[in-house]
Amino acid sequence: MMKKVLIKTIILLLTLTAMLLMSCEEQQIAHQKEEVDSLMNAAYQSRNYELILSLADQHQQDGTISAMKACYWRGYAYSRQRKMRMAEIEWKNAVAQKVTSGEDMKFYGQSASHLAGLLYLKLDYGEAIRVALTAIDLMRENGYTMNNHFSNLLTFVGSCQLKLGHLQEAANNFARTWLHYQQVMEAYHDQESYTGSIVGLVTIVDAYIQTAHYQEASEWADRLESMLQLRSHYPDVKEDYIDKQWARLYLYRACALEGLGNKAEAEKAYKKALATQYVQTAEGKMEANNYLMTAHRWSEAADNFQVLEAQMVSYDVGMSIENIHAFLLPKFLANAEAHRTDTAIAMGIRLCHALDSAINRENRNEAAELATIFEIQQKEAELMEQRNRLSDQRLLMVCTTLSLIVLGLGLFIFFRHRAAVKLETAYYDLERANIRVEESSRMKSDFIQQISHEIRTPLNILSGFTQLLTMPGSTYDEATLQDINQKIVENTDRITSLVNKMLELSEAKNHNVIECSDNVAAVEVAAEAVNASGITEATHLTFDMVVSPEAEQAMLQTNRTAVIRALSLVLDNARKFTAPAEARQREKPTDHQQKVVLRMTVVSGRLFFSVEDTGIGIPHKEAERIFDEFVQLDEYYDGTGIGLTVARSLARRIGGDIMLDTAYIGGSRFVMTLPVCS
């Protein structure tokens, strides 16, 4: 009996000792967390982003802060350093973590909001919607909705829907967003709530302006004005911040009114914007150009663009293809339309160099990007290994303290086994990630080579004309100068078209269904696609369109823009590959006249657009591969290998398809099918 009491007493003492040790450890961890939060806040206030990265790595490693929190802070620091790829990786890691506490929920919301915004700016609308909707559902489940992060996610969903052409869905989502803004403001009545609401409304109005929905933009501008009026009377308001938002409101109003044809009222709104201090700044002048170029006030826009270079240096804007399209091309267009020949020529030269540098930089950065990704993966593996060691040490301490308890040994074995399974799973995931990185590297290299070939011709033409115009002592008559100017504009448009096609490539990866709400005649769609492709202006071929009686009466319920774009890309493909290739044209010129025929027929309730050409043809085994990204069977022909990819993606997303007819001989025949209205 005494032995049993003694054993129970020993077990009780050991248990109490273990509980005391664990309690002390928890208090120590809580104290360490307070110290880390204080250090992190100080680094945030002083904008010391390298210190933020160091603190996040160190204290995730020792377990003081969670992986969710560490990933958020690393993503924030990288974004402020303009390392957007790295920021995207960290925020994706953050939202992939499991939420285990209220603090995790907070940093999950912040990470998801920042990630959705970053994807929206990258034009990756489908992925942005997926991230935002997943986060919205999780935040609702955890009751974490009365905050600006939740509002931002709702705003980004609507903006992405609008950019993808889902106008009604975007309108419904924006209405829910507006209601949520009002609920947050009623709940808190603080500066942060009003500021977040204003930022969200600015995003909505800007999205409507960019997509040319001017009536909706005008209506949301009224809501923005009401919010600014409330915010202007709020205590401790920053005058420069309010001035900036009022300036934006007036500029948005001017753009919307100009788009609606009300030029007089647009001019009044623009004059109100000019009365603000913000529009006198370099940043304000750049925003004002959106209205000036919409109103075709080229000279004023060209004047404002004089601050572009200093502004790009101030914001450390690199010369990526997206930034060339966003900044340099509009500046060139404004000066060209304002007939400022010297400045336009200078911008043409700058544009050539910038594009060449961007392509070379993309080549160089590819290896560095892969090395960085590998380094991150290696760091994560080291963190996992260190966590396992720390876990083993703690378990060893507990098991040593409770060595007389058999259950402790069982738990130790269990956790060791689970750690081994996790390590094996992580190793498998790492192998899969490496395979995806290698494939991405190969495809990117092929694409860069295609882009280099496609851009070289217009760049050489622009360079040649620039040298002629700047040659000392050279004089040209008015007709020659007009011809040179026309050639410069044509080749710049060619580069612009290529850049737009590159941006359009992101749409090929989007599998979201496009809203089909347009009722349009099939022959009308065909005529617009023919005009858009420019095939009737090609001198090396004859073009004909054959329409059956059924097709002549056929109506489509579809998305007008998508079907015209898809068909025009197929016609453009026929135009390119019936022309002599660049190398073969030098070797063996020919006067043989090629032919392209567009046939329209209706069979079993479906409309068939058949584009037949007498070009180089496509082998049967390549019938599906030709629709893959960057695939081009003959490198001597112009093109980037993405036109057919985009065309098929658009056709499938509106309920149709595009395929190659392998039975056709004497060239190629692509067939696009769409359902007709019953």
Which residues neighbour 139 within 8 Å (Cβ) at sequence distance 6 or greater?
Answer: 105, 108, 109, 112, 145, 149, 150, 153
Mean predicted lDDT score pLDDT of the chain: 80
Lowest mean pLDDT among 207-211, 349-353, 479-483: 349-353
DSSP strand pairing (518-521 vs 657-660): unpaired
Instruction: With cut-offs at 50, 70 and 90, classify the pLDDT of residue 529.
Output: very high
Q: What is the CA radius of gyration of the chain?
A: 31
Q: Identify whether the C-beta of residue 161 lies closer than 8 Å to the C-beta of residue 512.
A: no
The whole-number pLDDT of residue 334 equals: 75
The whole-number pLDDT of residue 587 equals: 43
The token pair that represents 179 in the structure block: 């209601």
Angle, CA 533 vertex, CA 531 and CA 538 arms, to 5°: 90
Distance (Å, rounded) from C-alpha 417 to C-alpha 487? 71
Burial of 143 (0-12, 13-18, 19+ CB in 10 A): exposed
The whole-number pLDDT of residue 387 equals: 64
What are 562's strand-pairing partners? Answer: none
Instruction: With cut-offs at 50, 70 and 90, classify the pLDDT of residue 312.
Output: low
The 3-state DSSP class for residue 546 equals strand
Angle, CA 587 vertex, CA 581 and CA 589 arms, to 5°: 75
Distance (Å, rounded) from C-alpha 168 to C-alpha 158? 10
Place of tokens 């959106």: 290
Residue of 60, 139, 52, 129 lying closest to 87 (CA atoms): 52
Q: How many CA atoms lie within 13 A of 592 on its CB side?
A: 11
The whole-number pLDDT of residue 358 equals: 65
Question: What's the DSSP call for residue 279?
Answer: G
Residue of 312, 395, 378, 303 lying closest to 350 (CA atoms): 312
Residue 68 has pLDDT above 70, yes or no: yes
Helical axes 522-533 vs 560-578, angle rounded to 10°:
50
Place of tokens 């090629």: 594
Q: Identify whether the C-beta of residue 199 lies closer than 8 Å to the C-beta of residue 151.
A: no
Q: How far is it between the farthest Cα atoms of the chain?
A: 120
Would you put residue 170 in left (φ > 0), alpha (ψ -120 to 50) or beta?
Answer: alpha
Burial of 157 (0-12, 13-18, 19+ CB in 10 A): buried
Question: What's the DSSP call for residue 327?
Answer: I
The sheet carrying 657-660 orders its strands as 541-547, 594-603, 606-613, 668-675, 657-660
The token pair that represents 538 in the structure block: 């090609």
Distance (Å, rounded) from C-alpha 573 to C-alpha 577? 6
The residue type of 635 is: E
Distance (Å, rounded) from C-alpha 93 to C-alpha 67? 9
Lowest mean pLDDT among 161-165, 189-193, 402-406: 402-406
DSSP strand pairing (541-547 vs 594-603): parallel
Residue of 99, 128, 260, 146 lying closest to 203 (CA atoms): 128
Q: Identify whether the C-beta of residue 506 lies closer than 8 Å to the C-beta of residue 124.
A: yes
The residue type of 247 is: A
The token pair that represents 560 in the structure block: 């007008």
Distance (Å, rounded) from C-alpha 192 to C-alpha 603? 60
Please provide the DSSP assignment of 104-141 as one string: HHHHHHHHHHHHHHHHHHTT-HHHHHHHHHHHHHHHHH
Lowest mean pLDDT among 20-24, 292-296, 525-529, 583-587: 583-587
The residue type of 9 is: T
The residue type of 595 is: K
Q: Identify whether the C-beta of residue 92 lies closer than 8 Å to the C-beta of residue 115.
A: yes
Instruction: With cut-offs at 50, 70 and 90, classify the pLDDT of residue 588.
Output: very low
Angle, CA 364 vertex, CA 358 and CA 628 arms, to 5°: 75
Residue 233 has pLDDT above 50, yes or no: yes
Q: Which of 25-29, 179-183, 346-350, 640-644 has the highest mean pLDDT?
A: 179-183
Residue 438 has pLDDT above 60, yes or no: yes
Q: Is the dihedral of CA 469, 473, 478, 480 positive or negative?
A: negative
Q: How many CA atoms lie within 13 A of 677 on its CB side?
A: 13
Q: Is the dihedral of CA 455, 457, 463, 466 positive or negative?
A: negative
Which residues neighbour 433 within 8 Å (Cβ) at sequence distance 6 or greater?
Answer: 377
Place of tokens 């499991």: 98
What are 607's strand-pairing partners? Answer: 602, 674
Q: How many CA atoms lie within 13 A of 597 on its CB side?
A: 11
The whole-number pLDDT of residue 663 equals: 87
Residue of 256, 231, 235 lying closest to 244 (CA atoms): 231
Distance (Å, rounded) from C-alpha 322 to C-alpha 7? 74
Which tops the pLDDT comparison, 187 or 321? 187
Q: Which of 282-286, 394-398, 664-668 has the highest mean pLDDT?
A: 664-668
Place of tokens 């020529």: 345
Q: Identify whether the C-beta of residue 240 lies closer than 8 Å to the C-beta of residue 276.
A: no
CA 233, chain centre distance (Å): 37
Distance (Å, rounded) from C-alpha 536 to C-alpha 520? 22
Residue of 233, 274, 232 lying closest to 253 (CA atoms): 274
DSSP strand pairing (606-613 vs 657-660): unpaired
pLDDT for 69-79, tens place per residue?
999 999 999 98
The pLDDT of 624-648, averaged and rounded, is 75
pTM: predicted TM-score of the whole model, two decimal places: 0.51
Residue of 273, 310, 318 lying closest to 291 (CA atoms): 273
The whole-number pLDDT of residue 377 equals: 60
Residue of 671, 654, 643 lying closest to 561 (CA atoms): 654
The whole-number pLDDT of residue 36 equals: 82
The whole-number pLDDT of residue 496 equals: 80
Q: Identify whether the C-beta of residue 573 lies closer than 8 Å to the C-beta of residue 609.
A: no
The whole-number pLDDT of residue 245 equals: 85
pLDDT for 322-331, tens place per residue?
667 666 778 7
Q: Where are the alpha helices (DSSP H) in 144-281?
A: 148-163, 167-188, 191-210, 214-232, 239-259, 263-274
